[in-house]
Each structure stands twice: as C-alpha cells, then as structure tokens.
Amino acid sequence: MKIICVGRNYAAHIEELDNEKPKDPVLFMKPDTSVLLKKQPFFIPEFSSDVHYEVEILVKIKKIGKHIDRKFAHKYYDEIGLGIDFTARDLQSKLKEKGLPWEKAKGFDGAAVIGNFIPKTAFESVDNIDFHLEKNGETVQQGNTAIMLWKIDELIEYISKYFTLKIGDIIFTGTPSGVGKVNPDDVLTGFIDSTEIFSIKVK
C-alpha cells in the first residue's frame, strides 16, 4: 500500500502557511509504517514541539492503473474516507529552509490517520463533499471538495502519470485552512457531513 499525499490543494491553506500557489499538484509520500493503528492514540514524537493536524478527504484505489485519463478516473475508486496528515511543522520548516525533502516531518510513525470509508454512491457528487475536524468538541477545520484546486479525478489522472496506482493505495487529497497544533489530551474527531469517521486521543 502506498500513501500518496497532495499538498497545497486549498487556496486558503496556501495563504495561511504563506506558500506559493503551485502550477501543478504538490505530491509527497508517507510510508505504510506511518499509519496510526486502529484504536491507538497518537503520540507526539519527541523530536517535535509543534505537530499540526491536517484533516483531509481520502480516496482508496480499487484497481491497478497507469496514465489514467480523467474521464475514466471514477472507475478506479468507489470509497471515500477521511484522515489526518500529521505534520511536524517545526521540523518541516527547517527542512524547507534548506531545500530538503519533507519525509521526516510527514512520514514518521503514526503520522497518517486513516478513518472509516463510505461508499462513493452515498454522495450525489464527490466534488461536493462537506467535511470537518473537531478538536475537543470545537470545529477547527472545515472544507468541501468543491473548493479543491484539483478535484479527485484530476488528481488521479496527474498522480498516475508518475506512479502506478495499485489496489489499496490511498490518496490524501489535501487540507483546508485551519491547521493547528496538537497537545497532550486533545481529542480529534473527524466528520464527513454529520457522520463521525474517526476519533483519536493525543498523548
């Protein structure tokens, strides 16, 4: 299983981190060891004092594909999920300053929360899905796939130019604005529409 992540896919999030708007999707990977095990808490790693939550819509690939045309992309997935791309922001900033890869800040153990999945048929359109994240019962992030710079089928077309997509691969489609720091004893709960998709405790 590959975890392919998309950066800078919501304009407001680009602005909040003072990044440049990219001409193409920004891609990076997380190893399978970054997946937080079900029913386990998220432990803040000792090498960071500024870990941020980033809630994202997920897409699970259901068949092998390479150079997938956008008009056929919908045939390669039938489930939509929600997760968190945990980011060691302090470490990421240091790496970016030096022009180095982000993997240490994005791919550490537990850095990928993968919640439950919902059949794609539950939505009128995958390009109009509401989702939000609550921290300790308060909404801190909310978004809709309608405001993605690159929609799901566009992402599948673009990603498959570079990486063969295989059954079980998961695409993290990017985070909206509102990212922030996690602290011990925080509880993070993610929702698609009003359906709870995951809930984790921070330690």
Question: What is the chain's mean pLDDT, rounded?
Answer: 95
Tokens 């489930």 identify what position? 79
Residue 19: what pLDDT?
65
For the chain, the domain total comes to: 1
Rounded to whole angstroms, the Cα distance separating 117 from 58 reads 8
| Mean pLDDT of the region 90-114 | 96
| Residue 23 pLDDT grade (very low, low, confident, very high; cuts 50, 70, 90) | confident
| Residue 75 pLDDT grade (very low, low, confident, very high; cuts 50, 70, 90) | very high
CB 76: neighbour CB atoms within 10 A? 21
Helical spans, DSSP H, in the chain: 11-16, 89-97, 103-106, 152-162
Residue 202: what pLDDT?
98
Least confident residue range of 22-26, 38-42, 52-56, 98-102:
22-26
Structural domain containing residue 56: 3-201
Rounded to whole angstroms, the Cα distance separating 183 from 7 reads 23
State pLDDT tens for residues 155-172. Answer: 999 999 999 999 999 999
Backbone angles phi, psi at 78, to 5 degrees: -140, 15
Rounded to whole angstroms, the Cα distance separating 48 from 163 reads 30
| Mean pLDDT of the region 172-199 | 97
| Residue 56 pLDDT grade (very low, low, confident, very high; cuts 50, 70, 90) | very high
Rounded to whole angstroms, the Cα distance separating 129 from 146 reads 7
11 pLDDT more than 80: no
Q: Where are the beta strands (DSSP E) in 120-193?
A: 130-135, 138-144, 170-172, 180-181, 187-192
Residue 20: what pLDDT?
67
Share of the chain above pLDDT 90, in %: 91
Backbone angles phi, psi at 136, to 5 degrees: 55, 40
Residue 18: what pLDDT?
63
Least confident residue range of 4-8, 50-54, 156-160:
4-8
Q: For the domain that residue 48 is a member of, what is the CATH number?
A: 3.90.850.10
Residue 135: what pLDDT?
98
14 pLDDT more than 60: no
> Exposed, middle or buried: residue 97 (CB in 10 Å: 0-12, 13-18, 19+)?
exposed
